[in-house]
Amino acid sequence: MYSQITSNKRKSVFLVLIFIAIIMALGWFIGVYLGYGYEILIGASLFSLLMSLTSYYGGASLALLSAGARAISKEDNPYVWRMVENLCITAGMPMPRVHIIQDAALNAFATGRNPEHASIALTTGIIAGLKNEELEGVIAHELSHIKNYDIRYLTIVVVLVGAISLIAHWFLRSGLLGGHRRGNNNAGGALAIVGLVFLIISPFIAELLKLAISRKREFLADASGALLTRYPDGLATALEKIADHPKPLDRANRATAHLFIANPFKVRSFTGLFSTHPPIEARVKILRGM
């Protein structure tokens, strides 16, 4: 389990470094070939940062609102409350706010920028459909996302994806419209082609990297959750039940799909590259091998 956690942390950091390298490459092209300097790179990064800060501090509330989650107290559902509380004591972390989603689908998610400002949401379907040790595994998985600062980490990734998309778009406009570019018309035409390539490829690669990081964090949360409960089979069985349950989440949202323990749309991508979550079969195999 410790090996799985270390491996996923290392791979996730490597993917973020690739993001930064792409942004630096785009900035270099703009500065050198278009004669704008690095003002555009700085401006795009600052604009993306400003937008992401809004979602960073208000994103948790928006995610809960979009899912139709309702905050509960200990009196509302002592069973779930005590399970979350006991796992938090075991993990040595603050108690997050607990929410319930009135939905028959089997799913759950956690959100919040740090353990002190975190929430966990469970559907009524998953509470009713899983046994005690299975639900405990799901909650441990979500608490691990909070403890591992996965939401903060993914927010940084979203910022980088936005910056890459903005820079690629500005690069294309500058190449096509001229502006301060240097060189003759032939050079401008060549720059337009390069800009078009960057516009198409850079955001696409960035999105794939974002999805890859999201999948890596799911593996990390699986390993961390199993480490917390000391019973990997509980989460493995829960994931199998979630995969076999046919009902998608009623209020699923593509902007928050990566937060859930499993894809809320119940759609399986023809390739893992385009999925927010790794295959359930792969996750179960790793858990059963621990």
More confident residue, 54 or 62: 62
**pLDDT confidence tier of residue 127, bands split at 50, 70 and 90:** very high
Which position among 142, 207, 240, 281 bears the catalytic label? 142
The confidence score (pLDDT) of residue 191 equals: 58
The confidence score (pLDDT) of residue 8 equals: 66
Q: How far is residue 215 from each of residues 169, 198, 238, 260, measured CA to CA in Å?
A: 27, 25, 18, 11
Instruction: State pLDDT tens for residues 152-194.
Output: 777 677 667 767 777 777 666 665 545 545 544 454 566 556 6
The confidence score (pLDDT) of residue 103 equals: 95
**pLDDT confidence tier of residue 45, bands split at 50, 70 and 90:** low
Asked if residue 225 has pLDDT above 70, the reply is yes
More confident residue, 275 or 148: 148
H or E segment to which residue 15 belongs: helix 2-33
Asked if residue 32 has pLDDT above 70, the reply is no
Instruction: State pLDDT tens for residues 64-103.
Output: 988 999 999 999 999 999 999 999 999 999 999 999 999 9
The confidence score (pLDDT) of residue 260 equals: 92
Strand partners, 71: 99
More confident residue, 42 or 247: 247
Is 240 catalytic? The answer is no
Neighbours of 90 (CB within 10 A): 13
Instruction: State pLDDT tens for residues 193-202.
Output: 665 676 667 7
Determine the Cα–Cα distance for residues 80 and 67; give it in Å rounded to an integer: 19
Q: How many domains does the chain have?
A: 1
The confidence score (pLDDT) of residue 6 equals: 74
Determine the Cα–Cα distance for residues 32 and 157; give it in Å rounded to an integer: 26
Structural domain that includes position 22: 2-288
The confidence score (pLDDT) of residue 184 equals: 47
The CA angle 231-87-287, to the nearest 5 degrees, is: 25
Instruction: State pLDDT tens for residues 274-290.
Output: 677 889 999 999 999 98
Q: Please name which of 25, 268, 60 lies closest in space to residue 160, comparing C-alpha atoms.
A: 25
Instruction: State pLDDT tens for residues 234-279.
Output: 999 999 999 999 888 988 877 788 889 998 887 665 555 567 788 9
More confident residue, 203 or 179: 203
The confidence score (pLDDT) of residue 289 equals: 92
pLDDT > 70 fraction of the chain, expressed in percent and rounded: 73
- Burial of residue 62, with CB atoms counted within 10 A of its CB: 0-12 exposed, 13-18 middle, 19 or more buried: middle
Kindly report the backbone phi and psi dihedral angles of residue 24, in degrees, each rounded to the nearest multiple of 5, phi listed first: -65, -40
Sign of CA dihedral 161, 167, 171, 177: positive
